Amino acid sequence: MIRTLKLVHFRNFSEKILHFDAEKNALIGQNGAWKTNILEAISILWDRHIVPISFDEMVQLWQEYFFVECEYENGETRSISYDKNTKRKKYFLNNKPTIKKKYLESTHICCNFGPLFMNIMYLSPSLRRDFLDQVITTAYPHYSELLKKYKAIVTNRNKTLQSVQQWTSQASEIDFWDQSFVQLAEEIYVYRKELVSFFQAHINEAKEYLWDEADSITLEYLSKVDLNNPQTSLTEYLIKNRQRDIILWKTAIWPHVDDFEILVNSDLALAHFASRWETKSVILWLKMLETVFIEKKTEKKPVLLIDDLLSELDQNHTQLFTEKIKYYQTIFSSIQPIENIKNSITIE
């Protein structure tokens, strides 16, 4: 658990030290009090981001570097610094310089979610696909390399499709990329199926956040691929649709055109039929399931970072959700105090 956080020249903070409780913590302040910056500082210690800003923008105005360090309850420390002039990041474990790979393999993980994630069921399917891949990558770090290889295969296959359509390559040249495509896609689906199955087994536990008439909540994975037999499914589809792919210069079936939907009573889309507060409560529960999944796979207990909670939920749903969090250290940001949270830190 994080005991203290030290910020030097980070965003608007010249130097600041914050102390955290082992369970629930709330950063309280009005809009513009830079609460999110504190969560972002914690987040980048685990190579994650809450807000999409560059490291240059994280350096305080008129300064040349920033330094962020957290100390755990056992006295160990984790730190990162960034120099705006050299564009270099430096990583430290227990005040000793280390390489990024070793730094990221060290203990502890954080799971963060903010206002953008709260709208995941309303926005583009790409956000939902990215969410699945981000969870898997946290649980299985080598998964990110698998995705890179896969995307390279798709790019090369699409280039070959274009060459065939323009009569500069033979259609038989697509066979090589098809084999590589199916092999890597099958690996991705093994991980996707494991995560989706976990969500499907536990998503109904969020039913208490909905109206009385809601009998069930289910998660449906939307794909043209049969996840129980992805190799055969992918191969048959590629053969059947090769001519269309050649005409369009595009691979029309792959994990990154998939999607998922959360349904109420088996056939009602959550985002269309539940209230906004009810929908966002279920989305928060999905994020909690992510945390549990990651802990099961890594055997590391994540720290939860939740940005701007009260602006997304009413009082009843806020209380329901915060009462559920009993096992993880959690740091909220809010414009007003949150019930059930004793350690409130005022940010001015």
Q: Encode pLDDT of 123-167 as tens digits.
A: 899 999 999 999 999 899 899 999 999 999 999 999 999 999 999
Boundaries of domain holding 77: 2-109+300-346
Least confidently predicted of 40-44, 123-127, 181-185, 279-283 = 279-283
Q: What is the three-class DSSP state of 285? A: helix
Q: Where residue 213 falls among pLDDT bands split at 50, 70, 90?
A: low
Q: Per the domain annotation, does 117 fall within a domain?
A: no
154 and 224 fall within a common domain: yes
**Between the CA of residue 121 and those of 74, 125, 127, 195, what are the distances in Å?**
39, 8, 9, 18
**95 & 18 share domain:** yes
Number of domains forming the structure of the chain = 2
- Please state, for a pLDDT cut of 70, what percent of the chain lies above it: 98
Quick one: pLDDT at residue 276?
82
Asked if residue 18 lies in contact with residue 348, where contact means CB atoms within 8 angstroms, the answer is no
Closest CA to 5 of 15, 14, 18: 18
For residues 7 and 104, membership in a common domain is answered with yes
Q: Is the pLDDT of residue 310 over 70?
A: no
- The predicted model scores a pTM of 0.88
Q: Is 226 helix (H, G, I), strand (E, B) or coil?
A: coil
Q: Which amino acid is at 42?
A: I
Q: Is residue 295 part of a domain?
A: no
Same domain, residue pair 26 and 153: no
The CATH code of the domain that includes 236 is: 1.20.1050.90
Do 171 and 263 belong to one domain? yes
Give the range among 39-53, 60-74, 137-151, 217-231 with minimum mean pLDDT. Answer: 39-53
